């Protein structure tokens, strides 16, 4: 058991810079900002799910459009400027607490 513990201590001493960088990357990726981002969505063809009785024959399709809403982290907030995503400030939520709980 002592050998394993010593090997771990030696590894930490040799690779502490790498471990700090990894911890910072994880923190930046998980820290939530008080913003919601609205990213691009798409369309879904629902003409096979909607049935109209006694309808005239029509060309084309019947579609449903959607967008995606995500809570902003530091990387996604910066990407919102590159891709032109809409940003909306969130009021009245404790962002530090929600960051600790990873919600």
* pLDDT tens profile 44-69: 888 778 777 887 877 878 888 888 88
pLDDT for 4 beyond 80: yes
- What is this structure's pTM? 0.62
Number of domains, the chain: 1
Q: Per the domain annotation, does 67 fall within a domain? A: yes
pLDDT of res. 20: 95
- Could you give the strand order of the β-sheet that contains 32-45, starting from the edge strand earlier in sequence? 63-73, 32-45, 86-89
Q: Per the domain annotation, does 10 fall within a domain? A: no
pLDDT of res. 53: 81
Q: Per the domain annotation, does 1 fall within a domain? A: no
Q: Is the dihedral of CA 24, 25, 26, 29 positive or negative?
A: positive
Q: Per the domain annotation, does 5 fall within a domain? A: no
Please give the mean pLDDT across all residues of the chain: 83
pLDDT for 93 beyond 80: no
């Amino acid at each position: 058991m002592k050998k394993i513990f010593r090997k771990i201590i030696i590894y930490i001493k040799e690779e502490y810079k790498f471990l700090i960088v990894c911890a910072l990357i994880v923190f930046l990726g998980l820290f939530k900002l008080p913003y919601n981002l609205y990213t691009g969505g798409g369309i879904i063809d629902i003409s096979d799910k909607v049935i109209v009785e006694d309808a005239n024959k029509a060309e084309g399709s019947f579609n449903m459009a959607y967008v995606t809403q995500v809570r902003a982290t530091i990387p996604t907030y910066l990407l919102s400027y590159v891709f032109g995503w809409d940003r909306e400030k969130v009021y009245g939520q404790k962002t530090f607490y929600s960051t600790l709980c990873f919600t």
